[in-house]
Structure 1
Amino acid sequence: MSKKPLENNDSTTEIVESKGINAFVLVFIVVAVAAILTYIMPAGQYERQEVDGRSVVDPATFTFIESTPASFMDLFNSIHLGMLEGSGIIFFVFIVGGAFGILKTTGALEAFVKVIALKFSDRATILIPILMLFFAAGGTLMGMAEETLVYIGILVPLALALRFDVFTGFAIVSLGASVGFSAAVMNPFTVGVAQGVAELPLFSGMGLRLALLATLYVAAVWYVTRHAKKVRANPSLGFYGRYDRETIVSVIDEDFKISTRHKLVLYTFLLNFIVLIYGVIKLDWYITEIAGLFLLFGILIGFIGKISSSNIADSFIDGAKEILPGALIIGVAQAILVIFKNGSLMDTILYYASNMIDSLPPVLSAIGIFIFQLFFNFLIPSGSGQAALTMPIMAPLGDLIGVTRQTTVLAFQLGDGMSNIIFPTVGFFMAGLAMAGIPWTRWVKWVFPFFLIQIGIAVVFLIIAQLTQYGPF
């Protein structure tokens, strides 16, 4: 029983569009609001000092300064400046997308998907908790975030071949890594930096974070599996984006056998991930080194797959083209931060927020810090950057209002991590949606109930932390 392969329609505009508002329009509106706020909010600043190579604020030094409101042209100039600010991840996304374009041209990825789909056709849902555990471990142990992009090109076609939908494939990666990142058992970029600023023993308080990880993981697996089962039972309930559902219902050829050349391509691709893991853990690689690795292995895969050098280049361009909207929106989102920085509003927001939290009853103070960090991540979607900016203020504030420093760190990591699956200013998240072909508004509608579940879990754990004086201090 031979079936047609997965088909991908030509349109890429669906990536950022839906029946609702276009994601570019939404982010530009936020940029415009940020520019207007530079005329309304007073400018202010904290003095900063170097601590272990990081610039951190001195919480006792806030002063109001002369405002520098954004001009009409600044509104448009900020887009270019945002592109420059986000250039590292923008070009990382292009290179990873191009490498996947080469892999797709070899036919090995489609062959791999068919083999796995055939093997697990009768027990497909068992793969969901297994795969999500892998991504949760990556998020909680090494802060996997941008790195998730390299898996989306594999998991979405696999989910479709198993008669799930695009949401299922994307959620396995994004929600799996997100719950791990939020729980942050040993995440060096959030807990590691925040505990350093708060002068806590590195990775202390691990017991509660392990319980938090288990709770978030079970909730995420339940949410994704529940949706996947519904789609498998009734395909019309799924979202397929730019894919043609009629050709996705079954792509399994029961007599299909993977070729030796495809096996060589896949082994080479697996070697790429082994080198990647080693480089990240042992050599402190980040997106520049990871991008270079994917470019190298993309070229190697092309030659092993018997593709001509010209076809390798064309395939690279085609792969990069597919994620163009997601890459560009990273720069547009960075424009918001440019406006706030140039208008000296970031420190003012920190100052007023800390005063508001100070006025809350002690049992609610930790929740107040969490809510502030949750929304502040819209402006600074960087775990280490947000820790360096906010923790020098929040840690001593917690001392004054009866919140332990460990609880303050917990509130920070939860607020920083949970919003990464919903805010359009989070660059790697938007790029991932682009790779999967999911409009932002459609994703938010689907994931929002789980986002609220996460908020509820966070509040419960913060109350436990507050009542037990989560420490060591």
Structure 2
Amino acid sequence: MQKGEVKVPQNNQDQSARRKRGINVFVLLFGVLLVATILTHVVPAGEYARVEVDGRSVVDPQSFQQREASPVTFFQLFSAIHTGLVDAGEIIFFVLIIGGTFGVLTATGAVDAFIRSLSRKLGNKEKWLIPIMMLFFAFAGAFTGMAEETLAYIPILVPLAVSLGFDVITGTAIVLVGASIGFTTAIMNPFTVGIAQGIAQLPIFSGIGYRIGLFVIMYLVSVGFIYRYAMKVKKNRSLGFYGEGAATIETTDTAKAQPLSRTHKLVLICFLLNFVALIYGVLEFKWYITEISALFVILAIVITLISRMSPDQLIESFMKGAAGMLTGALIIGLSRATLVVLGEGHIIDTLLYHASGLLDEIPPVLSAAGMYILQFLIHFVVPSGSGQAALTMPIMAPLADLVGVTRQTAVLSFSLADGIGNIIFPTSGYFMAGLALAGIPWIRWAKWILPLILTQFGIGLVAVILANLMHYGPF
């Protein structure tokens, strides 16, 4: 076994694999699709009139009328899957292009060299390891939507944390919680806020100032929680956790790590400049998915030239990165299939009508809180951020109009609920894979992190309520 790896015995691997598998998200989504089909036979059909307001389509709340029923047939249930994939094509190919570019970036070794170099420099400054490394992963989650990609760094951070007097949970939390901070606040996450705002017809990445403020708060709270725990473990090692069963952690050999070369630095600089260009294009030229996709394709080519990769290596790396996003892309399509079924049965507006009727009885502030809680519960069933956006935002956006909640607040409710659930729900595949890699039982992790989850959830609830009180927008 190479140094820096986490070795889990075969029987523990089997147990971890069973825990990691959990409930298959495609089975869950097909179950949702089946329920939606049944609802078209039970729920009366109806529709609202749509009107144009400032260039966007909104529901006229006084126009609901029942219409002739059109229940979805057994065959239409399955044809809706293809229709959903086609309808979500713009988003699906956006996800694949972004994933492909990240694949090229990963192939250069720049990110890996940067992490190892930073870890080596912090090796004798253990107090700075937690805030600095968590800030890196938080930025990665906030700007690139890095999630599954973070798993490669658990075998680096865990042994480093243990060698500095901390424990396995500390090293794992630096990676998983760090990335979750970014995913939760989603400053410019193309896979969550980008998709959700597009569906809600909001300017892409609008409302960024409020999300930056939330990022700072979530970061400070999370770092403080992990730092206090790590210091307790350092003072009393019996309080720590060092692997499940016979799991063994070896000390990482940072001396043999690939150094951060001039080429790596140039690649990382281009990567940062890409986001500067993205922000400028979005703000100045109102760029959307098509333009952002083009920008990332250009980035992939520039990175290839700098790192002197061959055309074959470029295509291979791009395809590998895109393949890693294929599951998420298919989840988006299957989520859209549910909306196709509800739309063909003409019951979406009926559901909106009754939901708005219930929410009309309570203040809009509580309606916003209700959306947030509902999105948190939905995330347990649909752990994919982009898939949840595709499934819920076509309903949540018009519902927000009906109950007096801003669409930007509806998007915020989704992104906050999505990020927090990523590090507690056992249906989150990459999260459970990370625990399995580190040899941490889910129960042990859940008991440890629950206070932080409750704190983050409370911060999110207050943030959503304040957002709607201040008419967080532009609309």
Shift of 1:347: 1.4
In structure 2, what is the Cα distance between the partners aligned to 1:166 and 1:280? 35
Letter of the structure 2 residue corresponding to residue 162 of structure 1:
L
Letter of the structure 1 residue corresponding to residue 399 of structure 2:
T
In structure 1, what is the Cα distance between the partners aligned to 2:229 and 2:71? 47
User: Which consecutive unaligned segments of at least 5 residues does structure 2 have?
Assistant: 7-15, 159-169, 379-386, 423-427, 436-441
The answer to whether the Cα contact below 8 Å between 1:132 and 1:172 also exists between their aligned partners in 2 is yes
The answer to whether the Cα contact below 8 Å between 2:110 and 2:267 also exists between their aligned partners in 1 is yes
Q: Residue deviations 1:130-187, cap 9 Å, x none?
A: 4577579x6xxxxxxxx532x44775545553326666434423433424669xxxx9
The answer to whether the Cα contact below 8 Å between 2:185 and 2:419 also exists between their aligned partners in 1 is no
Give the counterpart of 1:125 among 97, 122, 130. 130
Shift of 1:348: 1.3
The answer to whether the Cα contact below 8 Å between 1:128 and 1:225 also exists between their aligned partners in 2 is no
The answer to whether the Cα contact below 8 Å between 1:57 and 1:392 also exists between their aligned partners in 2 is yes
In structure 2, what is the Cα distance between the partners aligned to 1:107 and 1:464? 42
Partner of 2:283: 281
The answer to whether the Cα contact below 8 Å between 1:109 and 1:154 also exists between their aligned partners in 2 is no
Per the alignment, in what secondary structure is the counterpart of residue 331 of structure 2? helix
In structure 2, what is the Cα distance between the partners aligned to 1:69 and 1:250? 60
In structure 2, what is the Cα distance between the partners aligned to 1:235 and 1:51? 56
In structure 2, what is the Cα distance between the partners aligned to 1:231 and 1:67? 63
Alignment of 1:195-274 (within 5 A): 218-222=220-224, 236=242, 250=252, 252-253=254-255, 257-274=259-276
The answer to whether the Cα contact below 8 Å between 2:180 and 2:419 also exists between their aligned partners in 1 is yes
Find out whether 1:52 has 2:47 as its counterpart.
no
Alignment of 1:20-419 (within 5 A): 20-121=22-123, 122=126, 123-127=128-132, 130-131=135-136, 147-149=143-145, 151-152=146-147, 156-158=151-153, 160-163=155-158, 168-179=174-185, 218-222=220-224, 236=242, 250=252, 252-253=254-255, 257-359=259-361, 366-372=365-371, 374-375=373-374, 381=389, 388-395=397-404, 412=410, 415-419=413-417
In structure 2, what is the Cα distance between the partners aligned to 1:83 and 1:236? 44
The answer to whether the Cα contact below 8 Å between 1:370 and 1:414 also exists between their aligned partners in 2 is no
Judged with a 3 Å threshold, the aligned counterparts in structure 2 of structure 1 residues 414 and 94 are, in CA distance, closer, same or farther, namely: closer
Q: Which deviates further from its counterpart, 90-99 or 168-177?
A: 168-177
Q: Taking every aligned residue pair, what percent have the same amino acid on both sides?
A: 33
Per the alignment, in what secondary structure is the counterpart of residue 274 of structure 1? helix
The answer to whether the Cα contact below 8 Å between 2:134 and 2:175 also exists between their aligned partners in 1 is no
User: Which consecutive unaligned segments of at least 5 residues does structure 1 have?
Assistant: 8-13, 139-146, 197-201, 239-244, 396-404, 425-431
Shift of 1:38: 1.0
In structure 2, what is the Cα distance between the partners aligned to 1:273 and 1:369? 31
The answer to whether the Cα contact below 8 Å between 2:5 and 2:249 also exists between their aligned partners in 1 is yes
Q: How large is the RMSD of aligned CA atoms in angstroms?
A: 5.0
Partner of 1:428: none
The answer to whether the Cα contact below 8 Å between 2:130 and 2:174 also exists between their aligned partners in 1 is no
Letter of the structure 2 residue corresponding to residue 349 of structure 1:
L
Per the alignment, in what secondary structure is the counterpart of residue 97 of structure 1? helix
In structure 2, what is the Cα distance between the partners aligned to 1:331 and 1:178? 23
In structure 2, what is the Cα distance between the partners aligned to 1:91 and 1:15? 30
Letter of the structure 1 residue corresponding to residue 130 of structure 2:
T
In structure 2, what is the Cα distance between the partners aligned to 1:309 and 1:210? 38
In structure 2, what is the Cα distance between the partners aligned to 1:373 and 1:313? 41
Q: Residue deviations 1:165-221, cap 9 Å, x none?
A: 666434423433424669xxxx99999999x9xxxxx98xx99x9997776555444
In structure 1, what is the Cα distance between the partners aligned to 2:216 and 2:265? 36
Letter of the structure 1 residue corresponding to residue 403 of structure 2:
M
The answer to whether the Cα contact below 8 Å between 1:114 and 1:251 also exists between their aligned partners in 2 is no
Per the alignment, in what secondary structure is the counterpart of residue 77 of structure 1? helix
Query: Normalising by the residue count of structure 2, what TM-score does the alignment of the two structures yield?
Result: 0.69
Per the alignment, in what secondary structure is the counterpart of residue 20 of structure 2? coil
The answer to whether the Cα contact below 8 Å between 1:102 and 1:316 also exists between their aligned partners in 2 is yes
Shift of 1:51: 0.4
Give the counterpart of 1:420 among 410, 415, 418. 418
Q: Residue deviations 1:274-310, cap 9 Å, x none?
A: 3233323333223322222222221222232222211
Shift of 1:54: 0.7
The answer to whether the Cα contact below 8 Å between 2:96 and 2:322 also exists between their aligned partners in 1 is yes
Judged with a 3 Å threshold, the aligned counterparts in structure 2 of structure 1 residues 231 and 40 are, in CA distance, closer, same or farther, namely: farther
Per the alignment, in what secondary structure is the counterpart of residue 389 of structure 2? coil
Letter of the structure 1 residue corresponding to residue 144 of structure 2:
T
The answer to whether the Cα contact below 8 Å between 2:131 and 2:223 also exists between their aligned partners in 1 is no
